[in-house]
Amino acid sequence: MEMRLLDTMSRETRALSPRDGETYRFYCCGPTVYGPAHIGNFRTFVLQDVFRRSLELSGVATHHVRNLTDVDDKTIRGAQAAGESLNDFTAQWTDKFHADCTALNLLPPHDEPSAVAHVPQQVALIETLMERGHAYASDDGSVYFKVSSFEEYGRLSHLDTRELRLGTSVAVADDEYDKDSVADFALWKGRKEEDGDNFWESPWGQGRPGWHLECSAMCREYLGDTVDLHSGGVDLVFPHHENEIAQSECATGERFADHWFHITHLLVDGGKMSKSVGNLYTLEQLAEKGHTAMQVRYVLIAGLYRQPLNFTLQSLGDAKKALDKIAKAEAALRERAGIDQPDYASLISGDAGSDHFAPAFEALLNDLNTPDALGKIFTAMKAVNAAELSAEQATAELRGMHRVLAALGLELPATDADAGEASDVPDTVRALAEKRVQAKADKDWAAADSLRDEIAAAGWAIKDTADSYELTPKA
Ligand code: AMP
Ligand code: ZN
């Protein structure tokens, strides 16, 4: 079965197949590395990850590129406030982002280019745009894209052309350097004093590249003139993606992307996330409250990508219960199949031959319907539980179950049976283990080590797992 997905540009749900017949090439706009990513950012990255996993498990090879935005107003201001070089500052936040991605079980992209490392490609792209009459330099050494030179501008966001001519929405939506009341946007920003050491040489003088330009340049560098798909959060449709299309198509004369995949925003307690309201959660803050990254992942995939999703702390508690339930059902099915320790790779490869879990995987191929897939996993668990199954049939169902779990990127918590973890872990030991989770979240390694010693002294061994811990009585 082929995967189908809604395309933001045509508003049609279309089958996905690689242009070159071999590898599906897609580009995701990456994080701005000036602080910790919040769970809204991760809604987008997790859904892109489920998209990739589902496509690969349906038998299509992928080439996934996701950039790092490591030069813009926010990163420069952040580095200056921290008294660090731009590179040192963004390197720390990149490391933090990678650690969060690992905790959330996100597959690393095949390429992760940084904007700073691709300034020559960006300068070359501007030169092409100038030669072709789509860009002009201004007195302060900046270069602007001439929106009126690209007739199709606004096609992705279905913008009213009159509104565009007036330039109202454009000037407001673009960032600080843009000209007032003019639709044109900056490709190159002439050096300003407040940028400090953060400038590069160019034919138009010293300065730095505009944000929209970096994605056009890096997408082309790694994936060619036309990609199979381009993706980001819905806030990027306009102006970022609209501007990327304009830059790329005017430079190459080719269509930029065959398909556009946008993820609708995550809301918190029914409203927009914001620092000032104090509802902007990071993984670290949620870990401090005792919630695992896998629970966060579950909450983020529990809603359909093209509808808003409301996040509450309560939903994390529900996610824990759901994951525990799935883990129990998986352990029971494994027992019926006579499999002790599953070899996950072999379980998910090839056609699962499962009667009950196949519809859950198919739900993902049908416009990435993650809530439907989760619902169908629970339906299948019930059906399998009630059915008479031979060991062979149980193995097939187990394969089907692991296939859809792998597509969703869900790793299951250890069950009591698995870990040999007695449910009679004393409360005192459990409390020490929880304190250690907190110490690790605080990066207080000394405290974490001494808590491990205390747990050992009480006769228990603690082992870290992907998203939690296991306690076993010491022999
Ligand atoms: P940024 O780090 O701001 O460049 O954003 C990284 C990605 O997160 C982009 O694809 C954004 O569109 C996306 N994003 C930002 N806020 C949210 C949100 N509340 N819900 C979903 N995605 C978001
Ligand atoms: Zn981008």
Query: Cα(45) to centroid of ligand 1, in Å?
Result: 8
Ligand at shortest distance from the CA of 215: 2
For residue 200, the 8-state DSSP code is B
Ligand at shortest distance from the CA of 310: 1
Kindly state the tokens that stand for 464. 């870290």
Best probe residue, ligand 1, of 28, 235, 297 (max atoms within 8 Å of C-beta) = 235
Please give the number of the atom of ligand 1 that sits closest to the Cα of 309: 20
Neighbouring CB atoms inside 10 A of 255's CB total 12
For the Cβ of 323 lying below 6 angstroms from any atom of ligand 1, the answer is no
Distance from C-alpha of 238 to C-alpha of 261, rounded to nearest angstrom:
13
Protein residue whose Cα sits closest to atom 15 of ligand 1 = 41
Most confident of 1-5, 181-185, 453-457, 467-471: 1-5
Please give the number of the atom of ligand 1 that sits closest to the Cα of 236: 12
For the Cβ of 413 lying below 6 angstroms from any atom of ligand 1, the answer is no
Kindly state the tokens that stand for 13. 């749900």
Query: Cα(42) to centroid of ligand 1, in Å?
Result: 7
Ligand at shortest distance from the CA of 235: 1
pLDDT tens for each residue of 199-248? 999 999 999 999 999 999 999 999 999 999 999 999 999 999 999 999 99
For residue 375, the 8-state DSSP code is H
Question: Tokens 């599953």 label which residue?
Answer: 342
Burial of 94 (0-12, 13-18, 19+ CB in 10 A): middle
SS3 of 304-353: the string is CCCCCEEECHHHHHHHHHHHHHHHHHHHHHHHHHCCCCCCHHHHHCCCCC
For residue 7, the 8-state DSSP code is -
Residue 463 has pLDDT above 90, yes or no: no
For the Cβ of 370 lying below 6 angstroms from any atom of ligand 1, the answer is no
Ligand at shortest distance from the CA of 75: 1
Query: Cα(278) to centroid of ligand 2, in Å?
Result: 27
Please give the number of the atom of ligand 1 that sits closest to the Cα of 30: 6
Average pLDDT, whole number, for the chain? 91
For the Cβ of 32 lying below 6 angstroms from any atom of ligand 1, the answer is yes
Contact 281, 39 (CB under 8 A): yes
Query: Cα(32) to centroid of ligand 2, in Å?
Result: 10
Query: Cα(37) to centroid of ligand 1, in Å?
Result: 9
**pTM to 2 decimal places:** 0.86
Kindly state the tokens that stand for 70. 């490591």
For the Cβ of 300 lying below 6 angstroms from any atom of ligand 1, the answer is no
Query: Cα(135) to centroid of ligand 2, in Å?
Result: 19
Q: Which of 148, 134, 142 is nearest to 183 (CA)?
A: 148
163-178: average pLDDT: 46
Contact 462, 436 (CB under 8 A): yes
pLDDT tens for each residue of 241-268? 999 999 999 999 999 999 999 999 999 9
Query: Cα(83) to centroid of ligand 1, in Å?
Result: 26
pLDDT tens for each residue of 117-145? 999 999 999 999 999 999 999 989 999 99
Please give the number of the atom of ligand 1 that sits closest to the Cα of 231: 10
26-43: average pLDDT: 97
Proportion of the chain in helix, strand, coil states, percent, rounded to 5: 50, 15, 35
Query: Cα(214) to centroid of ligand 2, in Å?
Result: 7
- State which H helix or E strand residue 230 sits in: strand 229-233
The confidence band for 161, taking pLDDT boundaries of 50, 70 and 90, is low
User: Quick one: what percent of the chain has pLDDT higher than 70?
Assistant: 91
Please give the number of the atom of ligand 1 that sits closest to the Cα of 266: 20
Distance from C-alpha of 473 to C-alpha of 475, rounded to nearest angstrom:
6
Neighbouring CB atoms inside 10 A of 237's CB total 18
Of residues 457 and 320, more confidence is placed in: 320
pLDDT tens for each residue of 402-433? 999 999 999 999 886 665 544 577 778 888 88
The confidence band for 468, taking pLDDT boundaries of 50, 70 and 90, is confident
Query: Cα(232) to centroid of ligand 1, in Å?
Result: 7
